[in-house]
Structure 1
Amino acid sequence: MTKKTPSLCLNRRHLMMGMAAGAASLAAPSISRAAGGRVVVGTWGGDYGRLLNENIEQPFLISNGWEVIQDQSGDPERRAKMAAERRLPRGSTDIQGLTGVNMYLVYEQGLTETVDYSKLKNGGNLLPAMKHDFGVGHIYSGMVAVYNPDMVEAPKSFADVFDPKWGDKMGIIDIQYQYTMLAAALAAGGGMSDVEPGKPLLTAARAAGARIYPTNEAFAQGLSNGEIGIGVMWKARVVQWQNAGIPVQSIAPTEGAIAYESGFVIPKNAPNMEGSYAYLDAMLEPAAQEAFAEDMGYNPTITNASVPGDLQQKIGFTEEEVANLKSPDYGYILENDAEMKGWWDKDFKA
């Protein structure tokens, strides 16, 4: 599916959650009409699961009589469970939280419903790029250039980031191999549907001493202790690191930041389809979206959410940067992921 470039409207902090919840119970029959039902949510644990409860479930669902249960586990495990349950008349979850590429994957596998936006009172406020047949975008950010200004000069592009001159001051995150390869492809003048042009850049950076970190957290530790001073990462994560005192800045590269989103899909055999749509509608409430912007540093996916100007400067993108935002070709990633991972493990990391 072709994805369109979003347009943003981000200005102020969320309204009081209690007021928003009260308004929702009066004005949102799609959320409260089946009060008392159960909704089982497949999601990651940790802070994300906690924030789902605090910003969506408690104020907009539980307060209206819904029972919400989180089925927490990793993304691969939950997708495998969905596949194993595909022939059952009733699955174990009503809604599943996944990354954009994996929302597309489970839809292509025939595991999830086509979203019926006529059932969402808040669906009309979605940014075009976050409104898919295969799922609904919840939060988004973009892959940008990140650097420690005390260690390196500010890069302007992905090409600057992958310059071998940085040697072992450059850090690369192992689990981000898909998006890192896309960023390198952009740096080499390519696009979102061919990673081949970027491979020589990555190979040269690795030969010059670029360090590979297994996780986002390990990369952050490398920035914190001064092992590395430059790399690529989600802008939202950079905000979290800045709040934790890590000396890091970010800049939208001239080639265009690469959009990242996570959202929710509905299994075809969801036991409570009405609860699935109630959760989606609650997720798209302005107050819930605004709270996630402040708590996690990710941008709202709706046009009627507002955040304070200072926070918007940290997490958001200018109109020019939005116009230059690059959306991954999910179909290409799925068709070529095995080859991409094979090259990454056997050639690049070797």
Structure 2
Amino acid sequence: MLIMTGNITRRRFVQGLGAGAAVAGLAPRTGLIGQAEAAGGQVIVGTWGGDYQNLMDQYIAKPLMGPTGYQIVFDTGMDTARKTKLLAEKPLPRGSMDVVALTHSGSYEMWKNGTLLELDTKKIPNAVHILDKLKTPYAVPHIYTGRVILYNPKYVKEKPTSYNDLWNPAYNGKVGVIDIQYQTTIESAAMIAGGSLSNYEPGKAKLLELKKQGVKIYPTNEAMASALKTEEVWMCIMWKARGVMWQNAGIPIEMANPKEGIVLYVSDQVVAKNARNKDGAYAWVNALLDPSAQVQFARGMGYNPTVSNVEIPADLKARIDFPPDVIYLAQDQDYLAKNDAALKDWWDKEFKA
């Protein structure tokens, strides 16, 4: 397997979120497991809600953590709010979260800002099985996938092989992009226009060509799913795991790996440096890597396991995994940190206008 990685560095911190707003909402909002204080104490897990939290509750909190005596409390919200909270609470001896779910770039950003604990892998027995391409000293990679092309085989008769296939005039007006994925869309265009993961500029002119061809812009992933279901669009760029979920929901799509390479998406969980219950936090991140839980996330959300000791059913593995010769790419987070505001400005004023 060939692995190509850019510098996995800091992602731009969301501007304008005041530290005071974070401190005002320190108490966890949802997900209390049990009413009495557990013998091992509470473990506060800051995370996204929805299917992700439900699966953690069903396959990690209850069966794996329950017998250990720890009480899991989910603090549900957006990852931007969790980052704000980590930064606001950095001077405090005890923070409000023990474990924090973040994207791979978000965890690096928080590590560089000195809010995260450097992990002692001796306290995480399952860490010996973490895939090499996902290892860092500060985060436990929970699940991962990669960016692919989704297409409707009813109309796209020839399986795409490149991002460039979205520019095929035969699909004018039937290609969609997602507003909240402006970074990855510009990045994908740059990859076929002479740019790179560290230079998105050539992607801008390429996207303006797509604009002239009648590209449709949708605000969210869910809106794109609806457009694919109704056949309003025939092709888009998306994370493979999301494509698997949409297939499960009956949306008529298939997936293709772009020859430019598979850009990784990793969902990490990290331990706050000032966590109140570090022992419980270590127990939790170790449980994340348990093969029984990893299999359930593969089934429920279409994500690949981050550990090597998981036996995935062959039919499921064929749907969610990538071939052994795939080229994995990691975003250059340092580049994004420096250029994100300008990229968003261009997207809003030039591409969307």
Which band: TM-score by shorter chain?
Answer: 0.7 to 0.9
Q: Which of 247, 253, 256 matches 2:252?
A: 247
Q: Which of 88, 106, 111 matches 1:107?
A: 111
Q: Indicate the larger mover: 187-196 or 218-227.
A: 187-196
Instruction: Indicate yes or no: 2:193 matched with 1:193.
Output: no
Instruction: Indicate yes or no: 2:261 matched with 1:284.
Output: no
Please give the TM-score of this superposition, normalised by the length of structure 1.
0.87
AA at the equivalent of 1:166? Y
CA deviation after TM superposition for structure 1 residue 305, in Å: 0.9
Distance, in Å, in 1 between the alignment partners of 2:59 and 2:304 is: 15
Instruction: Confirm or deny: 8 A CA contact 2:6 2:331 kept in the other structure.
Output: no
CA deviation after TM superposition for structure 1 residue 290, in Å: 1.0
Distance, in Å, in 1 between the alignment partners of 2:329 and 2:108 is: 17
Report the equivalent of 1:345.
348
CA deviation after TM superposition for structure 1 residue 327, in Å: 1.4
Q: How does 1:305-344 map to 2 (within 5 A)?
A: 305-321=310-326, 324-344=327-347
Q: Indicate the larger mover: 301-310 or 115-124.
A: 115-124
User: RMSD of aligned C-alpha atoms?
Assistant: 1.7
Distance, in Å, in 1 between the alignment partners of 2:204 and 2:176 is: 16
Report the equivalent of 1:214.
219
Closer/same/farther in 2, CA of residues 108 and 162 from structure 1, 3 Å limit = farther
Report the equivalent of 2:276.
271
Distance, in Å, in 2 between the alignment partners of 1:191 and 1:103 is: 23
1:129-152 alpha-carbon deviations (Å, 9 max, x no partner): 221123121100010011011122
AA at the equivalent of 2:99? I
CA deviation after TM superposition for structure 1 residue 162, in Å: 3.7
AA at the equivalent of 2:119? V
Distance, in Å, in 2 between the alignment partners of 1:294 and 1:175 is: 26
Please give the TM-score of this superposition, normalised by the length of structure 2.
0.86
Distance, in Å, in 2 between the alignment partners of 1:327 and 1:306 is: 26
Report the equivalent of 1:160.
165
Instruction: Confirm or deny: 8 A CA contact 1:163 1:201 kept in the other structure.
Output: no
Distance, in Å, in 2 between the alignment partners of 1:230 and 1:129 is: 29
Report the equivalent of 2:299.
294
Distance, in Å, in 1 between the alignment partners of 2:99 and 2:347 is: 32
Distance, in Å, in 2 between the alignment partners of 1:200 and 1:2 is: 23
Distance, in Å, in 2 between the alignment partners of 1:341 and 1:114 is: 33
Distance, in Å, in 2 between the alignment partners of 1:58 and 1:277 is: 16
Give me the identity figure in percent: 44
Could you list the runs of 4 or more consecutive aligned residues of structure 1 that deviate by over 4 angstroms after TM superposition? 1-4
Instruction: Confirm or deny: 8 A CA contact 2:140 2:269 kept in the other structure.
Output: yes
Instruction: Confirm or deny: 8 A CA contact 2:190 2:202 kept in the other structure.
Output: yes
AA at the equivalent of 2:197? M
Report the equivalent of 1:145.
149
AA at the equivalent of 1:107? W
Matched length: 319
CA deviation after TM superposition for structure 1 residue 310, in Å: 0.5
Instruction: Confirm or deny: 8 A CA contact 1:162 1:202 kept in the other structure.
Output: no
Q: How does 1:55-134 map to 2 (within 5 A)?
A: 55-134=59-138
SS in 1 for 2:328: coil
Structure 1 or 2: more helix by fraction: 1
SS in 2 for 1:333: helix
Instruction: Indicate yes or no: 2:40 matched with 1:36.
Output: yes
Q: Indicate the larger mover: 176-185 or 211-220.
A: 176-185
CA deviation after TM superposition for structure 1 residue 279, in Å: 0.8
Instruction: Confirm or deny: 8 A CA contact 1:165 1:208 kept in the other structure.
Output: no
Report the equivalent of 2:210.
205
SS in 2 for 1:169: coil
Report the equivalent of 2:31.
none
AA at the equivalent of 1:132? T
Distance, in Å, in 2 between the alignment partners of 1:164 and 1:178 is: 24
Distance, in Å, in 2 between the alignment partners of 1:2 and 1:196 is: 17
Instruction: Confirm or deny: 8 A CA contact 1:115 1:132 kept in the other structure.
Output: no
1:295-350 alpha-carbon deviations (Å, 9 max, x no partner): 110000001111111101100001012xx121112222222211221221122111
Structure 2 stretches of 5 or more lacking a match? Answer: 9-37
Distance, in Å, in 2 between the alignment partners of 1:127 and 1:73 is: 28
Q: Which of 260, 264, 267 matches 1:259?
A: 264
Instruction: Confirm or deny: 8 A CA contact 1:147 1:231 kept in the other structure.
Output: yes
Instruction: Confirm or deny: 8 A CA contact 2:7 2:333 kept in the other structure.
Output: no
Instruction: Confirm or deny: 8 A CA contact 1:39 1:68 kept in the other structure.
Output: yes
Instruction: Indicate yes or no: 2:266 matched with 1:235.
Output: no
